Amino acid sequence: MTHSVWRGTAANDRASRRPRLSGRVEADVVIIGGGITGVTCAALLGLAGRRVVLLEARTLGFGTTGHSTGNLYEVLDAGLAGVEKKWGKDVVSRVAASRREAVGLVERFAAEIGETTAFRRCPLVQYSEDDWSQIEEEYETLRAAGVAVRFGECEELPGATGRALVIDGQAQFHPFNYVLGLAEWAAAHGVQIYEDSAAVEIAAGDALVRTASGSVKAKAIVVATHTPKGIYGLHGQMRTCRGYAAAYEFPSLTLPHGIFWQRGTVTRSFRKLEMEGRRYLITVGSPDKTGLHDPEKSLAAVESLFVRKVRAADERWAWSAQAYHSPDLLPYIGHSALHDVYIATGFGADGLTYGTLAAQILCDTIVGKDNRWADLYHAGRFAPLKSAKQTLAEQTAVLKGLIGDRLAVPDYTEASSIPPGSGAIVKTQGRNVALYRDPAGGLHAVSAACTHLGCIVHWNALEKSWDCPCHGSRFGTDGSVIEGPALATLEPVDLARSGDAEIG
């Protein structure tokens, strides 16, 4: 299993949990999702005098926010050069300006919350050991867009050649402490927050959200779950990836504060974290397609940086996070096609900044205030020429998940070959089943068909989960929803009752 350094160094021991929603409550706005997007939106709406209810399926910051990099920047992880090719120089300038504004909002909230956020301004440094073409192209794009970019000298980093692209004035923080602190601030401004309250039904048109133990009737619904819950056309366009990260404590670490991106043949990022006098080095690798990769191999590639430096006594964390990439390189933020539902998705690997920006846009839209960035990221935009290549690739992957994976699942009768702590997809009595054997030897069986659109889930050996390669839904070994667009759990399979008692 994995655990992030942010949760491992959290200032709040979570002794006081938020209650579970019980019964029926009413609000002006109900927000689904307790990450940076949902909590920031709740805080802003509460400040604007709206009655707000926030529902988190597990605990605040449990999802991508608590498994992120903790980096904030006005540019994009994949570069703004691609945005210029699709949208032009003016859009690049607006993207950078909007994200710069969002970083400023985090800074202001961090000042309200206090030192536990560990917010600080720092440079973003890009370098390469073998291929400067991407960096040169990005430099020209940023300079033309008015971003304060320069060339400088590299610090002592793996693969550094002495020269680097530098963007000053970016930032870093402790995202988990920030979200918990901001939630406290939001609650002080009247926001009702409920944990362990997963949405099981979203009734658009009625502005009603149901959980297993209650419901919220509102005037507007904000789905801040990184990708919208339910069925949306944009699910078939977005590429879903998982990125892996690791952190080790290095008492003698000399790395300066900054965001360091290595480009070229090897792509990864580095940063330092200092908490309570202790120093940690964090590194993040390149992303892989959800459900279609080897998680253990992906994490091993990230951790290879530490092999010669780590002592047995050094504290270590490893984790991953999901990213949803829009086909035209801009996120979808705003009113959905459903009357009373607002969404925010397609952030790519840039979610901390985009999540904050999305919260600003959604709050302004709901209270009837003009937002100068709303049209740029409009959720209902139609740009087929800019989206066609990725959309076709994703739809092909979905067809494979719906048809090819079903045909490829082998017939299986020897469950004894599944070792403890492992899972496998099998076909028995004409049905695809996801089997997991727990460490004690018990066998757990659930349907292998994702409850979102029916694709076959794949086993994630590192995180002990069932991951859908089509739209990124992920489920626990008991079938419970971890993340993604799925609302319903994987259906339990009673092997004995279905005549499959021989499996086990």
pLDDT for the residue numbered 209: 98
Question: Would you say 255 and 306 are in contact if contact means Cβ atoms under 8 Å apart?
Answer: no
Three-class SS state of 182: helix
The CA distance from 184 to 179, in Å, is 9
Question: Would you say 470 and 450 are in contact if contact means Cβ atoms under 8 Å apart?
Answer: yes
Taken in order 293, 294, 300, 301, the sign of the CA dihedral is negative
Mean per-residue pLDDT, 216-240: 95
pLDDT for the residue numbered 181: 97
Lowest-pLDDT range, 96-110, 202-216, 218-232, 427-441? 427-441
At 402, is the pLDDT very low, low, confident or very high (cuts 50, 70, 90)? low
The CA distance from 364 to 41, in Å, is 10
List the structure tokens of 203.
């009734």
Lowest-pLDDT range, 19-28, 35-44, 134-143, 295-304? 295-304
CA 201 remoteness from chain centre: 22
pLDDT for the residue numbered 412: 45
pLDDT at 438 > cutoff 90:
yes
DSSP label at residue 402: I
At 101, is the pLDDT very low, low, confident or very high (cuts 50, 70, 90)? very high
pLDDT for the residue numbered 15: 45
CB proximity list for 61: less than 8 A, separation 6 or greater: 6, 7, 34, 35, 175, 176, 179, 180
- The model's pLDDT over 278-308, given as tens digits with 9 standing for 90+, comes to 899 999 998 999 998 899 999 998 888 766 5
pLDDT for the residue numbered 428: 79
- Characterize 23-38 residue by residue with b for buried, 16 or more Cβ atoms within 10 angstroms of its Cβ, and e for exposed: eebebbbbbbbbbbbb
CB proximity list for 16: less than 8 A, separation 6 or greater: none
The CA distance from 470 to 289, in Å, is 10
Kindly report the pTM of this predicted structure.
0.93
- The model's pLDDT over 114-164, given as tens digits with 9 standing for 90+, comes to 999 999 999 999 998 888 899 999 999 999 999 999 999 876 666 666 789
- Which domains are present in the chain? 5-367 (3.50.50.60), 383-504 (2.102.10.10)
pLDDT for the residue numbered 161: 65
Phi-psi domain of 90 (left: phi exceeds 0; alpha: psi -120 through 50; beta: other)? alpha
Quick one: 245 exposed, middle or buried, by C-beta within 10 A (0-12, 13-18, 19+)? buried
For residue 235, which of 60, 401, 475 has the smallest C-alpha distance?
A: 401
Mean per-residue pLDDT, 371-375: 98
pLDDT at 103 > cutoff 90:
yes
The percentage of the chain sitting over the pLDDT mark of 70, rounded to a whole number, equals 87
pLDDT at 498 > cutoff 80:
no
Q: Measured between alpha carbons, how far is residue 297 from residues 8, 301, 302 in Å? A: 23, 6, 9
Q: State the Cα torsion 54-59-60-65 to the nearest 10°.
A: -120
Lowest-pLDDT range, 64-68, 123-127, 168-172, 417-421? 417-421
Q: 29 forms bridges with which residues in the sheet?
A: 52, 220
Lowest-pLDDT range, 45-59, 127-141, 298-312, 354-368? 298-312
- The model's pLDDT over 173-199, given as tens digits with 9 standing for 90+, comes to 999 999 999 999 999 999 999 999 999
Average pLDDT over all residues of the chain:
89
At 266, is the pLDDT very low, low, confident or very high (cuts 50, 70, 90)? confident
Lowest-pLDDT range, 15-29, 64-78, 268-282, 298-312? 298-312
Q: What are φ and ψ of residue 310, in 5° steps?
A: -85, 135
Three-class SS state of 403: helix
**Widest Cα–Cα separation across the chain:** 69
pLDDT for the residue numbered 384: 63
Question: Would you say 25 and 214 are in contact if contact means Cβ atoms under 8 Å apart?
Answer: yes
Q: Measured between alpha carbons, how far is residue 386 from residues 179, 308, 326, 383 in Å? A: 34, 44, 10, 6
pLDDT for the residue numbered 303: 85
